[in-house]
Chain A
């Protein structure tokens, strides 16, 4: 990520709106600059970090756009690797030995009975069975300035470098953000994972077929302009760009500027460098999906299987069941969660979430081998089905039908939208393990409207 001093001068304020000056990735001038820097770095292989800084300073010359040059160079060097030299002994140990002689001078100092510098070096080199030159190179070899470039990082194209710089600028604006609101409409599966990964506190509710999510931290309500979580927002931002349709509005307090709102959305040509996760988290899930398609899928099947297409909002956390079955005619929805070979802690949290979700139309498929007693699942609102090696699809479909009848009653024609309208009655609060405070499922309807 860029340092704040490379971002702040490019932030502009207009009324209550903030923006950051990005580069045109087709502009031939900037493409040339990017190309120059990429070439400079490639030629620099094997040379020191200090020399890289000198080289950059020379390249900058008296250009007034030096902040851009430095920003581009920062993106490059962040992705590259500079490695310390190997030395015959640890530099700090050598320093401890040599500095006990100081201050020494070019000539011996008889008044204080002190040897000349060259005598000290010679004497110590002999004692350590090394050459004087080796002592000289070892002395400060642990300073980052002396590290040498060993890996230039990814194969950058000039356009790619400019685009990445633009993304880093957008992230940089969020360094001073006190809170962020995002709206997502599709392909948001990874979003939730990254929210948790970056330990962001979030508050989600459904909104126009998508979600409205507030991001902040525990102390935010008490320190209204805190920028404590800015770095986390910045780190997270590329995850938002994995969604197809999204919008973001951040309240930002840049130094020396009036606070304002910084907006971003999917129409900008920003490209995430984060990885999208694969369609399945485990073999078990992949096999389940495949078997379903073979046996119950296709034209003649009554149910449509979809992968992680529904998010159960649990206040400050979410649960995303592995599969959803949608009845082709009635539109009824049954959610399926596979509980396979997992660590006991993970299982406990999962069960707590299932409880918190208070979701009647959820089917849990639990591997018998896991240490999860029937007890633990007793008051889970949905159904639980155990399996030995893999779920038996016949049994699964029987259970699905049972749930369908129990939850939705005898077949009638009615259109369902999404689970937020789940007919399950609200029950007493349950406590979850990963977050010990009481939490409620989908109780945000009041707020939504």
Chain B
């Protein structure tokens, strides 16, 4: 009988190796089988060879990839890639958002020419990677997440779905790219990295976790991905890549009817929150507490509903929509992004002004078509409820209009500011529309971007 090792559900299992034998260290005897996590595969290879254990793990392929993108990499991108190569193609590259991490990843895939899976934090980013890979290599690309599950030698997935992908197809990828790798220590997010046998691993992030955050007791980034192989700070890159942008805040009034409704709902809501002293008693998580109480206490339930009504109203109040229309007129010849967190408002705007919408309902193909149409200036505006988060590529946007008042909007303002890129040295503008004397204002205060060096805030322009 010949000893061998095979891949099963995220683990490596030895075949025909007896209980009395002593296979390499990570293997543990579990229910009569020697088994260990997939990620040991690379480091284990020499020992397996030594013990004449035949390797039946890999199902990955050599790919004939041609990089269609002719753009020359920046010096720091070349250096980053070389550092990763030297580290046996394991480890993380730390670069500020907007510095072209995706481009480095494409180069890495092109260099290695092996079956690769990219793991992204959100479905939005998955879609973006999908589009980039299709364009870069002019080849079919697999997509694996809740809605679509198609596995190909180049595949994109999310951290959420990566575990399932690895359980079933872990041994079909030789290279894994972990986008926003700082998410990895999160309890369920690291499982994919743990289960995958892929010997080549590339982590990408702008914010590498502090040492105490790199491990969660079960795994550390170092074990799963390798060390940091290259770092460049934001100060080193300003002017070279990142855009300057300015923010404006546009304040609008509620109509008298809206005002009456707002005041009534606000009273119901705030009276309960104050009487229960929720923020004082529960700290930042007090809204969760309100939600919990709303399933027990009729007053809490009414407060919650009142809050829901006023948030809904603020999202699509007449003043904001009128201001939006004004801005669409004003910037009619520019590429515009419109953000609001409420799906219903997105589709209202899309229908009213005949502009494409991106929401969680938008499928990969149409999403790609919309973003490309936007880039080609066939579409002048996009309205979206998605926080085109963490480095989403919208280089053409010169104007971003945010219908404020929600947590999503806050995130959007912060993120988008970082990704508006400098094209032809023109400055991008980010306009936030908020309703006067409402919850919006309190939020807007907290949300003031702290971008220091790369941004300048101009608050007064549009009163």
Contacts and interface: CB of A to CB of B under 8 A. Distances in A.
Interface residues of A, number: 50
B152 interface: no
Contact of A114 (B14, B332, B373): B332
Interface string A182-224: 0000000000000000000101000000000000011101110
A102 B33 CA distance: 63
A104 interface: yes
Contacts of A105: 325, 328-329, 353
Interface string A64-83: 11110000000000000000
B13 interface: yes
A112 B37 contact: no
A315 interface: yes
Interface in B1-57: 6, 8-11, 13-16, 28, 30-33, 35-37
Contacts of B10: 218-219
B366 interface: yes
Contacts of A103: 328, 332, 336, 353-355, 380-381
Interface stretch (B61-69, B99-107, B293-301, B411-419): B293-301
B276 interface: no
B351 A218 contact: no
B329 A64 contact: no
Given A99-B356, A218-B8, A315-B31, A111 B332 contact: yes
Contact of A143 (B292, B347, B354): B347
Interface stretch (B70-78, B126-134, B187-195, B241-249): B187-195
A101 interface: yes
B369 A64 contact: no
Interface in A88-104: 92, 95-96, 98-104
A436 B294 CA distance: 53
A212 to B, nearest CB: 14
Main secondary structure on B side of the interface with A: mixed
A227 B35 CA distance: 19
Interface in B369-404: 369, 373, 378-381
A139 interface: yes
A427 interface: no
Contacts of A66: 294-295, 301
A219 B332 contact: no
Contacts of B350: 99, 140
B226 interface: no
Given A105-B353, A218-B9, A219-B10, A436 B15 contact: yes
Contacts of A144: 361
Given A223-B218, A437-B13, A140 B351 contact: yes
B252 interface: no
Nearest to B297: A64
Interface in B307-337: 325, 328-329, 332-333, 336
Contact of A437 (B33, B354, B361): B33
Contacts of A223: 191, 194, 218
B278 interface: no
Contacts of A120: 354
Interface residues of B, number: 58
B346 to A, nearest CB: 11
B167 interface: yes
B163 interface: yes
B329 to A, nearest CB: 7
Contact of A62 (B167, B298, B351, B355): B298
Contacts of B292: 9
B329 A109 contact: yes
B6 A436 contact: yes
B353 A104 contact: yes
A63 interface: yes
Nearest to A120: B354
B302 interface: yes
Contacts of A104: 353-354
Nearest to A65: B295
B353 A102 contact: yes
Contacts of A436: 6, 15
Given A143-B361, A221-B28, 18 more contacts: A64-B296, A64-B298, A66-B294, A66-B295, A100-B373, A100-B379, A101-B354, A102-B353, A102-B355, A112-B332, A114-B332, A117-B352, A218-B8, A218-B13, A219-B10, A219-B11, A219-B191, A440-B32
Interface of A: 9, 62-67, 92, 95-96, 98-105, 109, 111-112, 114, 117, 120, 136, 139-140, 143-144, 201, 203, 217-219, 221-223, 225-228, 315-316, 431, 436-440, 443
16 contacts: A64-B296, A92-B366, A96-B369, A98-B354, A99-B373, A102-B355, A103-B336, A140-B351, A143-B361, A219-B167, A219-B191, A225-B187, A226-B188, A226-B191, A438-B15, A440-B32
